[in-house]
Amino acid sequence: MNDYTVATPIETRGPIVRAVGVRKSFGDREILSGIDVEVERGEVVVLVGASGAGKTTFLRTLNRLEPIDGGEIDVNGEQIGQHANGKGRLVERSARDLARQRADIGFVFQHFNLFPHMTVLENIWHSPVRVKGEKKSEAVGYARELLARVGLADKADARPRSLSGGQQQRVAIARALAMRPALMLFDEPTSALDPEMVGEVLAVMRDLAKAGMTMIIVSHEMGFTREVADRVIVMDGGRIIESGPPAQVFTAPQHERTRQFLSKVL
Amino acid sequence: MTFDWTYFWQSLLTPSEQFLNGLALTIIISVVSMVLALVLGLVIALMGRSRFLPLRIIASLYVWVIRGTPLLVQLVIIYTGFAAVGLFRFEDADLAGVLIKGAVQASIVGLMLHESAYISEIVRSGLESVERGQNEAALSLGHTPLGAMRYIVVPQAIRIMVPPLGNSFNGLMKTTSVLSIIGVAEMFQVGSTMASSTFKVFEIYLVIAIYYLVLTTVWTVAQTAIENSLNARAGLPRAESAWKRLFGLRSRKASPAQATAETSRVLQTDDAY
């Protein structure tokens, strides 16, 4: 098992995500004050930090659910959501172009956001068919396969609302994987779950990491982070204050704010 | 009391051809203006959500003016007023061999404009009732904004919109009785002509009332069937039965339509149920 990705990335060399000087404000409040990050293919990066640090906002800029006010974000070697026009000025990409870019980036939401008017199986095969034009029979077959991998083969015909939170989140992960993304983004995937359901979702994510999927995760699960992350990025006040392997960041934090944060969560 | 039972039963069970024509016209005008109002209402609602400020302004001005003035006044302005100042005159027209009177055209236009303002508000609140995360999830999966609307947002909004839209249509059918003011030979107009020639005022208006009641009752049954089929497709419990609604015997628990509106919120807060 464990061959989740079949996507052929447009650009196969160099970092899959490159963010340079990313800025974002909501009104007068600056949420991101210049973020620089590179993420390599196959890397598992976990963003940690106090709430309000800008982790979720930054994650949402990576597939442009949040437009940015300054800087540049390249995913798969392409600037996301905007590009230089003939005169070299930055302009917004068309809705269709942006949709094409997003199709390669899986996103898992804190609140799952499954489509309640579809069965679990349809949630998974719908977008590959409608967006990528896959044949329905093939998409359904792959959807069943993914559902089995997240341990929910028997729930194919259930409605999302009849599932527990943990089950819904596993379906949401399968739904994102069905698009065969080159990169998976997770926005606090276990924060809305009852404690006893956190484990089943983390197990699926652990599998995914082992399979070599590139993952960027906003999480408060420090045990999971220590175990799975290749790199931990600590954010504070819209900036990255520290970054490194979990062993280093957790045992010998360089920054005072990191120490304060870790003393609260560890 | 001098109630003419014979005349009453006769008018009720074997209505004159004239009366049946009036009934037919009532139904046709209601259906045609409702369909057109749905289209226009959708356009106005989408304009109201546009990124372009001028479109949003036009939409809100439209809703403000149309909802803020009586239908009767709008009808007279459209039909009589416009003609009087030489702006526009509704002429009788021949549509595939059927003569359509100017007054009927003006009625359809008037009802369409009037109804569309209300419908646009129903559509707007229906679209807004769908959790924002639904749209974001669709976008993150590579849908265009239009695709997200079509496959994800609208199918969920429709279930929420059908009950108020059905009520709108119910009201519209009854509202057609004001069309007599511009001389449309719909059911009420035919009835009042009969009343003034036979002086059987009570009998005739009673018959008219019963026919309106039949129309709205048939529609309530149809609406319930529509809601049920939408609920069934969404895996939701059945809507309140038509008989319970008609006689005001609705259960005190939240109706399925409300439950639908709440679904996405529940989805966000509860994990196990």
Which pLDDT belongs to residue A1? 44
Residues 1-30 (A) with a CB less than 8 A from some CB of B: none
Which pLDDT belongs to residue B99? 83
Q: Any long-range contacts for A220-225 (C-beta under 8 Å, 24+ apart)?
A: A220/A48, A220/A188, A220/A191, A220/A265, A221/A190, A222/A48, A222/A250, A222/A262, A222/A265, A222/A266, A225/A46, A225/A48
Does the structure show a pLDDT above 50 at B269? no
Residue type, A224: F
Residue type, B157: A
Q: Percentage of chain A with pLDDT > 70?
A: 95
**Which tops the pLDDT comparison, B193 or B243?**
B193
Q: What is the band of B3 on the pLDDT scale with cuts at 50, 70, 90? A: confident
Which pLDDT belongs to residue B252? 63
CA distance A161 to chain B (A): 7
Q: Percentage of chain B with pLDDT > 90?
A: 59
Of B61-70, B82-91, B113-122, the range with the lowest mean pLDDT is B82-91
Which pLDDT belongs to residue B251? 66
Look at the block and give the residue holding tokens 């998976």. A184
User: How do residues A109-125 score in pLDDT, each as one tens digit?
Assistant: 999 999 999 999 999 99
Which residues does chain A have within 8 Å of residue B146's beta carbon, measured at their own beta carbons?
A: 95
Q: Tokens at residue A257, please?
A: 């704010």
Q: Which of B229, B243, B237 is nearest to B260 (CA)?
A: B237
Tell me which H or E stretch contains A231. Answer: strand A231-236
DSSP lists the bridge partners of residue B100 as B93
Which residues does chain B have within 8 Å of residue A63's beta carbon, measured at their own beta carbons?
A: 140
Contact between B140 and A193 using a beta-carbon 8 Å cutoff:
no
Of B39-48, B102-111, B157-166, B236-245, the range with the lowest mean pLDDT is B236-245
Does the structure show a pLDDT above 80 at B235? no
**Which tops the pLDDT comparison, B86 or A148?**
A148
On whether any CB of chain B is under 8 Å from the CB of A105, the answer is: yes
Which residues does chain B have within 8 Å of residue A114's beta carbon, measured at their own beta carbons?
A: 137, 267
Q: Helix, strand, coil % (nearest 5) of chain A?
A: 40, 25, 40
Cα(A237)–Cα(B78) distance, rounded to whole angstroms? 61
On whether any CB of chain B is under 8 Å from the CB of A63, the answer is: yes
Interface test with B, best of A61, A66, A92, A113 (most B CBs within 10 A): A113
CA distance B70 to chain A (A): 39
pTM to 2 decimal places: 0.81
Interface test with A, best of B130, B262, B271 (most A CBs within 10 A): B271
Cβ partners under 8 Å of residue A73, min gap 6: A17, A18, A19, A20, A22, A61, A62, A64, A79, A80, A81
User: Which chain A residue's Cα is nearest to B261?
Assistant: A116
Provide the sign of the torsion angle of the four alpha carbons B5, B9, B11, B12, taken in this order: positive
- Burial profile B34-67: b = 16 or more Cβ within 10 angstroms, e = fewer: bebbbebbbebbbbbeeeeeeeeeebeebbeebe
CA distance B267 to chain A (A): 7
Average pLDDT over residues A224-237: 95
Which residues does chain B have within 8 Å of residue A194's beta carbon, measured at their own beta carbons?
A: 271-272
CA distance A266 to chain B (A): 26
Which pLDDT belongs to residue A149? 95
User: How do residues A79-99 score in pLDDT, each as one tens digit?
Assistant: 999 988 888 888 999 999 999
Of A81-90, A191-200, B55-64, B70-79, the range with the lowest mean pLDDT is A81-90
On whether any CB of chain B is under 8 Å from the CB of A165, the answer is: yes
Q: Tokens at residue A1, please?
A: 């098992």
**Among A7-11, B12-16, B139-143, which range has the highest average pLDDT?**
B139-143
Cβ partners under 8 Å of residue A193, min gap 6: A165, A166, A169, A201, B271
**Cβ(B150)–Cβ(A117) under 8 Å?**
no
Contact between A161 and B271 using a beta-carbon 8 Å cutoff:
no
Average predicted confidence (pLDDT) for chain B: 87
